[in-house]
């Protein structure tokens, strides 16, 4: 097993021994604030560490090959366990659940999980690469999913195939977007990760293609997530450049956020033909309003996308702890949170070992 994989395993198993149940119990319900007065609002739930794409900025083939030690089925949280943890977070103020992966639509019977989570008083969304949307959209909607976000890194076939690195045709993802739209999984958002020198030439064609549609394209700065995508600062195209390029052909004007803490900065076309967004974790950090917690596929809580270790809730679930004890542990994790990685990013932090995005979801 290569050095690289051993080191990735190290990261994955780097966990504070069992998420501690505090001696002084924290109430199982009520708002939770971290050390920067940020309330937990969003829980991102990774339901698989596998994917049918090998996007170069997330799961490069060189690392995530056939020998990569993906999680065994027995290690994954069951749907009952995921629902229980989600319910405890909702009691602490979470009002948005996002299902992620890897590629969440690869998880068998995902609709059954959605049915369970849709019973909670939350907005229920899912991020997908769109490959399975043509056959799954209707069932997802019927199960109670509100809307989807589709990752699409170019509109021209050659660039898209190069970005997903499994030769998957763009037409199939566009078909998936149409199927999701027809099924009512809207408003539909489209995420494009921009890597300077690789697909930045595709920015304006992408904007042009979806302008006038109901779909909102968000351009995401290339990030130093995980420890395997070879991130370099000079491959980051600042969002200000992205906006300038689009504006030069299709004038844009800034608009306010839909809600406090919204990740994307919104811009609308001056002629009223829709909007785009930019997500600027590298050049315009938004940690001060970050309300996101992440649950990994096998039950660890991470309080930042760029975390180096997590808190194991699965051990508490499987040793029969009560809801009160697990909710108290969740409270302690969040109240101790001080993450602000994007505010303190340096070349050293970028090179540090971090949890893989394909493992805890974007
Ligand atoms: S870097 Fe971490 S703390 Fe900052 S916005 Fe991203 S997830 Fe939140």
**Do residues 174 and 212 make contact, with C-beta atoms less than 8 angstroms apart?**
no
Q: CA-to-CA distance for 256 and 186, rounded, in angstroms? A: 20
Mean pLDDT of all residues in the chain? 94
Model pLDDT for residues 253-305, shown as the tens digit of each residue: 999 999 988 999 999 999 999 999 999 999 999 999 999 999 999 999 999 99
Q: How much is the average pLDDT of 45-63?
A: 96
| Residue 260, pLDDT score | 86
Q: Is any ligand 1 atom within 6 A of the Cβ of residue 305? A: yes
What pLDDT is stored for residue 18 in this prediction?
53
Reported as a pLDDT band with limits 50, 70 and 90, residue 3 is: low
Minimal-distance CA residue to ligand 1 atom 5: 287
Distance from residue 286's CA to the centre of ligand 1 (Å): 7
Kindly give the number of the ligand 1 atom that is closest to the alpha carbon of 290.
8
306 lines ligand 1 (CB under 6 A): yes
272 C-alpha to center of ligand 1: Å?
32
Interval 233-237 mean pLDDT: 96
What is the structure's pLDDT at 4? 52
Nearest CA to ligand 1 atom 7: 304
Q: What is the pLDDT of residue 301?
A: 96
DSSP state of 65: S
Please provide the DSSP assignment of 193-256 as one string: EEBTTTTGGGHHHHHHHHTTSS-EEEEEE----TTTS---GGGB--HHHHHHHHHHHS-EEEE-
Which ligand 1 atom is the nearest neighbour of the CA of 341?
1
Confidence of residue 347 (pLDDT cuts 50, 70, 90): confident
Q: Cα(282)–Cα(300) distance, rounded to whole angstroms?
A: 25
Residue reference for tokens 């009560």: 322
- The fraction of the chain above a pLDDT of 90, given in percent, is 86
Q: Kindly state if the Cβ of 304 falls inside 6 Å of ligand 1.
A: yes
Cα-to-centroid distance, 287 and ligand 1 (Å): 5
- pLDDT, one tens digit per residue, over 153-191 is 999 999 999 999 999 999 999 999 999 999 999 999 999
Closest CA to ligand 1's atom 2: 304
What pLDDT is recorded for position 361?
Answer: 85
**The dihedral of CA 116, 118, 121, 125: what is its sign?**
positive
The DSSP H or E segment spanning 123 is strand 123-128
Least confident range of 17-31, 132-146, 210-224: 17-31
- What is the pTM (predicted TM-score) of this model? 0.93
State the pLDDT at residue 28.
86
pLDDT beyond 80 at 192: yes
Ligand 1 touching residue 231 (CB < 6 A): no
**What average pLDDT does the segment 304-320 reach?**
94
Q: Is any ligand 1 atom within 6 A of the Cβ of residue 290?
A: yes
Please give the domain boundaries of the chain with CATH numbers for all domains: 3-360 (3.20.20.70)
């Amino acid at each position: 097993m290569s050095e690289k994989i051993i080191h990735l395993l190290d990261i994955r198993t780097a966990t504070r021994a069992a998420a501690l149940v505090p001696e002084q119990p924290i109430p199982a319900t009520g708002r939770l604030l971290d050390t920067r007065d940020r309330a937990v609002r969003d829980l991102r739930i990774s339901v698989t560490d596998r994917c049918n794409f090998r996007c170069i900025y997330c799961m490069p083939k060189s690392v995530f090959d056939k020998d990569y030690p993906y999680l065994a089925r027995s290690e994954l949280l069951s749907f009952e366990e995921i629902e229980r943890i989600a319910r405890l977070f909702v009691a602490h103020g979470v009002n948005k659940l996002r299902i992620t992966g890897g590629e969440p639509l690869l998880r068998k019977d995902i609709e059954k999980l959605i049915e369970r989570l849709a019973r909670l008083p939350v907005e229920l969304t899912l991020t997908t690469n769109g490959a399975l949307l043509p056959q799954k959209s209707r069932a997802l909607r019927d199960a109670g999913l509100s809307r989807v976000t589709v990752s699409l890194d170019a509109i021209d076939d050659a660039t898209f195939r190069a970005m997903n690195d499994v030769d998957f045709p763009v037409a199939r993802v566009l078909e998936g977007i149409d199927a999701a739209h027809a099924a009512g999984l809207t408003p539909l958002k489209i995420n494009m990760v921009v890597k300077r020198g690789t697909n930045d030439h595709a920015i304006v064609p992408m904007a042009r293609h979806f302008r006038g549609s109901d779909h909102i394209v968000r351009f995401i700065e290339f990030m130093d997530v995980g420890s395997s995508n070879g991130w370099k600062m000079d491959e980051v195209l600042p969002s200000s450049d992205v906006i300038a390029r689009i504006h030069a052909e299709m004038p844009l004007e800034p608009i306010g956020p839909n809600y406090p803490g919204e990740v994307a900065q919104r811009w609308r076309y001056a002629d009223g033909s829709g909007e785009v967004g930019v997500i600027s974790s590298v050049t315009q950090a938004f940690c001060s309003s970050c309300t996101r917690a992440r649950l990994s596929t096998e039950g660890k809580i991470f309080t930042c996308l760029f975390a180096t270790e997590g808190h194991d809730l699965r051990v508490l679930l499987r040793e029969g702890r009560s809801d009160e004890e697990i909710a108290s542990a969740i409270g302690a994790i969040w109240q101790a949170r001080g993450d602000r990685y994007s505010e303190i990013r340096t070349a050293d932090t970028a090179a540090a070992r971090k949890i893989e995005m394909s493992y805890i979801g974007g």
